Homo-oligomer: A and B are copies of this chain.
Amino acid sequence: MKALLHAEKAGIEGLSYGELTEVNPGPGEVRVRLKTAGLNHRDLFILHRHKPTDPPLVVGSDGAGVIDAVGDGVVGVEVGDEVMINPGLGWKEVSDVPPEGFEIVGLPDHGTFAEQIIVPAENAVAKPAHLSWEEAGVLSLAALTAYRALFTRGKVRSGMNVFIPGIGGGVATFLLQFAKAAGAKVYVTSRSQEKREKALQLGAEAALASNEDWEQALAGVKMDLVIESVGAATINKSLKQLRRGGTIVTFGSSTGDTVEINLRDFFYGQYNLLGSTMGSGEEYKNMIEFITEHKIKPVLDQMYQLEDFTDAFKRLEEAKQLGKIGFYVG
């Protein structure tokens, strides 16, 4: 089968489009013939985390396709089922942290940038009918991260004011769509005029420029919940928009990890700072139910043939995308 393999060199230069031997699913596993796959920042990191001296690795965490082989003892899914891949391996129920042995599809096990993938049967989840193959392929990792941050950790409720600094990326776009569907009022920021306009189309109450005075622009509106992935550049500005007793969930720090916090302001404000990551299988299923109920679709940036991987990875690396980048892999 055709696959995008990482070997020999760190970074994009280590990627090559080539052949990999087909394998059969083991007990409890299924083989999915993938149609589409989605590109995430994680795939860029993996090109530096996967040792070039280790055996070649198929990268990629997101994908969708049709089950074409089923291992012994598998119940609940069968050949011909249209499925999406839940990329979290070994984390079943909602819990505060994943169990020992938790891994994400695409390292150390082969990922989705290939014609086929073998996953545990529980990680092949029925594709909602309202999603196209393109949409189903790019959704999983970002939507699951957004779901856990917003619902499990942030406990978003109807009527809340939710603030999302840095609305460009895939997770942030889902955060906006999910929070809006949950009945919250959503405020966002971005450096890009185009991304601010897109956010307003998706239902944001206001879209602030990154460099404007947020406090002034919000004119006294305080946030019940902030979902932060920008990090050093925004976290203290974000804290200032929070109402006393409000919650800030952090799952990323794209502008830097080290931040200075004033503890006295923090405890007098009775704030909550909660760390979050991607989530469990239970949260994945709840997320799929939620997007099905609310007919939520990912914002698609651009689809590529897998052999054009260099253009796709570079587009993500240069942050030129608006929404999710996908591949046709089948």
Binding site for B on A (CB under 8 A): 95-97, 231-232, 235, 244-245, 250-253, 257-277
Taken together as a complex, chains A and B put the C-alpha atoms of A269 and B257 apart, in Å, by: 14
Q: Which of B245, B264, B273 contacts A273 (CB 8 A)?
A: B273
CA distance A215 to B65 in the complex (A): 48
Residue of B nearest to A246 (CB): B96
State whether A96 and B275 are in contact (beta carbons under 8 Å apart), knowing that A232-B263, A253-B264, A263-B231 are contacts in the complex.
no
A260, chain B: closest CB distance, angstroms: 5
A146 to B98 Cα, complex, angstroms = 31
**Which residue of B is nearest A245, CB measured?**
B96
User: In the complex, what's the smallest C-beta–C-beta distance from A101 to chain B, in angstroms?
Assistant: 14
Residues B277 and A245 in contact, CB atoms below 8 Å apart: no
A97-B244, A257-B264, A268-B277 given. 9 additional CB < 8 A pairs? A97-B245, A97-B269, A250-B266, A257-B262, A257-B265, A260-B261, A270-B274, A270-B277, A272-B272
Chain B residues contacting A266 (CB-CB under 8 Å) are 250, 273, 275
For A269, give the chain B residue with the smallest CB separation: B275
A270-B232 contact given A257-B262, A259-B263, CB 8 Å threshold: no
Say yes or no: B276 contacts A267, CB within 8 Å: yes
Chain B residues, CB < 8 A from A265? 257
- Pairwise interchain contact A259-B257, C-beta atoms closer than 8 A: no
In the complex, are the beta carbons of A235 and B260 less than 8 A apart? no
**Closest residue of chain B to A264, judged by CB?**
B257
How far, in angstroms, from A265 to B267 measured CA to CA in the complex? 21
B258 touches A97 (CB 8 A): no
Residues of B within 8 A of A273 (CB): 266, 272-274
Task: Across the A-B interface, give the 7 residue pairs with the lowest CB-CB distance, nearest first.
Answer: A96-B245, A267-B275, A97-B245, A257-B264, A273-B273, A253-B263, A97-B244
